[in-house]
Copies of this chain bind each other. A is one copy, B any other.
Amino acid sequence: MNDIDVLISEVGPRDGLQSIQSIMPLEAKQAWIKAEAAAGVREIEVGSFVPPKLLPQLADTAEVVAWARTIPGLAVAALVPNFKGAENAIKAGAHKITLPLSVSETHSQANLKKTHAQVLEEVRKIVELLETLPADERPAFEGGLSTAFGCTLEGAVPEAKVVELARQLIDLGCDEVGLSDTTGYANPTQLRRLIKLVWAEVGKDKLTGVHLHNTRGLGLANAVAALEEGITTLDSSLGGLGGCPFAPGASGNIVTEDLAFMLDAMGLRTGIDLDRLLMVREIVIAALPDEEMYGFTPDAGLPKGYGTGGWGVAA
């Protein structure tokens, strides 16, 4: 991170593709990931190690992970729902694995068919497995606190519960926790408060990233609030693909294109070439002609003269 200020972690090939009906062919996934890495995106969550029966869209995740590892400089991340998934992710060579723990236990049951205690037991076993690996083969392990800002099933979620589960994940041996606004309920004030509460409990180095959705249009406002607090990793999805099936008509993740433009315009370094990033969108549109793509910057284009003199300069 020495040469960038903010790490944009692209989650479209996982969060995006799992939430649409179309199945993207392996070749198209590879073209997408390759082009986005070439545009300067440093971390991509390329899939999820769930049973192919549940998510046929991601059945080729092991292949995608193994292939993506060959891209120089790219951190290859994957979601794992349980110990079995973690085993497979490690075998495929993921650099980072994330296990989602829903703060809403109702959502945890719906999502993973597990109580909190059962998910935490999987975490314990995964850490045990990780500890048997040599350091250079060990992926980073994040516990992702889903529905941390509210749940479409339970409604409001107690902040004390988020903090308590963060503590347990760290105590069990996760390298980090993440805060996920799975449902697009978060607002900037709540986000700032929750980040500080979790930091107070587990330390600043144990929470560096947030996963935001744009379901109610607040995604980038939340992103700025998180950055101003000191968060340095932001998940986003090309074209805003992804989202919660419980919020019909609403968009998914924050849009990588708009986020990358905003950060660049704010003078923050992401390592991303905006023109090249905007071109990646064409690959996804061609592969998923029936899916709605979100984002405003791709339609509007970059401002006139952007990137030349005068921009971002207090003239």
A interface residues, Cβ below 8 angstroms from B: 150-156, 158-160, 183-185, 187-190, 193, 197, 214-218, 220-221, 223-225, 247-251, 255, 258, 261-262, 265-267, 295-297, 299-301, 303-306, 308-315
Contact = CB atoms under 8 A, between A and B. Distances in A.
A156 B311 contact: yes
Contacts of A311: 150, 156
B218 A262 contact: yes
A312 B262 contact: no
A308 B184 CA distance: 18
Contacts of A301: 247
A299 B150 contact: no
A189 B304 contact: no
Nearest to A188: B224
B265 A305 contact: no
9 contacts: A150-B311, A185-B303, A189-B312, A216-B296, A217-B295, A218-B220, A218-B258, A221-B223, A250-B299
A219 to B, nearest CB: 8
Given A150-B311, A184-B296, A216-B297, 18 more contacts: A152-B304, A155-B304, A155-B305, A156-B309, A156-B313, A159-B314, A183-B303, A187-B265, A188-B262, A189-B312, A190-B266, A193-B314, A215-B296, A216-B258, A217-B296, A218-B265, A247-B300, A250-B296
A56 to B, nearest CB: 27
Nearest to A214: B296
A295 to B, nearest CB: 7
A304 B151 contact: yes
A153 B225 CA distance: 32
Nearest to A249: B299
Nearest to A186: B265
A160 B313 CA distance: 11
A304 B262 contact: no
Contact of A312 (B190, B217, B220, B300): B190
Contacts of A314: 159, 193, 197
Contact of A217 (B216, B220, B224): B220
A305 to B, nearest CB: 3
A303 to B, nearest CB: 5
A256 to B, nearest CB: 11
A303 B217 contact: no
A216 B301 CA distance: 8
A300 B267 contact: no
A150 B304 contact: yes
A229 to B, nearest CB: 12
